[in-house]
Structures are given as structure tokens and as C-alpha cells.
Amino acid sequence: QVVATMNTWGNGATREYVGRCAQDAALLNEFCFLDWGYDTRFELLLLERLFHSYKSTADYKIEHMHILHALFQAMRHKASAQGIRCIISTRNLINVAKLLLNNNEWSIDKALRINVYKGLKEEEIKRIEAPEVWTVKREKKFKSDEHVKVVSSSPFTGMEHNATCPI
């Protein structure tokens, strides 16, 4: 038995994955195709392990990782629902978390801009941002003495996140 993964359906390049070649129909006929989304429980586990791997997390709490996770899920949902072509991957999620944990001077907006929003127009960014999940004023630092109570519900897992998040 063989399990294979790919970012396209074997029909060649897409707008997001331009380096893909079309596969022979006979080869594609040998496989069953299953659309498999992001494993959100695994992502949350990765974030929790990343958080606990840091010796000093300054003002951060594990709840911040849960809120970041909910933010990514909400952004994926918005991008998909509105047909905005943007890759909001597990790799992006981990990279944003690392930037925030490694550098207290980074804002969530700056971390998202260099990891997720690359190539998007401002209008598209505004349409996929999820301030209802992560209440942050643009370019305000993630680390702060100010706090706001954030309650969010994930559209995918039905989990509710209650946390105090610095803004």
C-alpha cells in the first residue's frame, strides 16, 4: 500500500503551485483521491510544544498560542469563502509563532505580513483579517501591559477559546 500527497490533483500547475507537471491519466487512475484539509489538532499540539520549548516566553501564555491558532483557522475560512488565493499553512502558523516568541518587538500584523499576506492587495488583507479573533490594532506590539478579554469560536473545531490577550 502506498500513500502519496500532493498540492494539486495531478492536472498540472495551478495559480498557487506553478511548478507542478500534469500526470499521466493511467497513473492518476491507480490512486484514490481524498481532499484532506489541515489537521487543526496537530497544529495546536505543535504550537503548544513550540511554546513549551522556549525557556523564557516573557509575557506570553499558552492561551496566546490557542488564540493564534484560532486566528489562522478564521483567516483560512474567510479566504476560502471569498475566493482569495492565499496559502495559510501550518508552516506559516509556526513561523508567525516563532517570530512573536523570539522577538518581543514584533507586532502580529508585521509577522502576518511577511509570512501570510505576501503578494496580497490591502483590500484582500482586510477581507481575510480576523479581528474578532485577535483584537489587535495595526502595528501595535504583541507584548504590552494592556489586555483585552478575547472570546472566539473556531469555525472548524467548535472549540471555544477564552483568554486574556495582550494588545
- Residuewise pLDDT in 10s, the chain (167 residues): 777 776 666 666 666 666 667 778 887 787 777 777 889 999 999 999 999 888 766 667 788 889 999 999 999 999 999 999 888 999 999 999 999 888 877 888 899 999 999 889 999 999 998 877 765 433 334 444 333 333 333 332 333 333 333 33
CA distance 57 to 47: 13
The predicted structure's pLDDT at residue 12: 67
The predicted structure's pLDDT at residue 124: 94
pLDDT tens digits for range 43-88: 999 999 999 888 766 667 788 889 999 999 999 999 999 999 888 9
The predicted structure's pLDDT at residue 157: 32
CA distance 42 to 28: 29
The predicted structure's pLDDT at residue 134: 65
CA distance 39 to 60: 24
CA distance 11 to 24: 9
3-state secondary structure (DSSP) of residue 163: strand
Of 79, 100, 95, the closest CA to residue 37 belongs to: 79
pTM (2 d.p.)? 0.67
